[in-house]
Amino acid sequence: MKRKIIFILLIVVFSSIELADKFYVFVDGLNMRSCPSVNCSVVKTLHFKDVVESVGKAEYTPSFDWIETEEGWVALQYIDYLPMKINGNLPVDFDMNYSEFPLPPEYEPDDLVEIPEEYCIKSGLKLRKEAKEALIQMLNAAKKDGFDIAVASAYRNWFYQRNLYLSAIKEHGPDQTAVAKPGRSEHQLGLAVDLARKDKECLLLKCFKDTPEYKWLVENSYKFGFIQPYLKYNILYMEEPWHFRYVGKEDAKEFYETYIKGNDALQY
């Protein structure tokens, strides 16, 4: 797997582009408008899993990218392509960020297992079996070196992610980069964890980057098959020093040697 981490800002200006014939709407109560602007009249309200057809036109405005349907304009921020059907589990190196399709709402790995409570900040957290076993090995190794690291979040289903996304939109606006859209979260793969100090200091905050626990993870997580995909300057989300994703030892080592080793400025 070759992960595409690009440390530059990209600006895409739409004029007229070809789009998929159909897409599905995943945010309840989304408004379809008469023209590509939030100031235009609402012609229809769409709901979860509504499917509408594009006429192949898109238009850029300062606030949103819009695509035109036979019935009106929809802000691209709130739609996605129809999900592919997934049978069984995806490979552990599956790159959610650059997949053509989002994960469908019904997707759930069939080998999810519970992470022992002693390794977690709260009970009931789950991961895929392979990732869970690697995680426990990593946390045990950290503890042996004097660092007490725990899991704050692990597998999240599509509907839980939707609630987080809607809350983030409400609090920070549609251009927020803190929470992935439902169907676009690595947590739904059952391979991602949010890690923290066991005492909860700097829990899910950027100051976790200043802790010795984080520095240990940077230097050692790849040995157990984990990477930190959302480094500083990535173009997808805000920097998340607490977010680690299992991809397997081979790919994690490649990621470490490409983006981490010798690049301390990206981390500290």
Please identify every residue annotated as catalytic: 240
Taking alpha carbons only, the member of 93, 114, 96 closest to residue 249 is: 93
Torsion of CA 97, 101, 106, 110, to 10 degrees: -60
Q: What is the Cα–Cα distance from 126 to 86, expressed in whole angstroms?
A: 20
SS3 call for 150: strand
Q: Would you say 26 and 183 are in contact if contact means Cβ atoms under 8 Å apart?
A: yes
DSSP letter for each residue of 171-215: HH-TT--SSPPTT--GGGGT-EEEEEETT-TTTTSGGGGGSHHHH
Q: What value does the CA radius of gyration of the chain take, rounded to a whole number of Å?
A: 20
By the 8 A CB rule, do 254 and 223 touch? no
State the DSSP string of 5-31: ---S------SS----SEEEE-STTEE
Rounded to whole angstroms, what are the CA distances from 92 to 76, 127, 137? 29, 12, 17
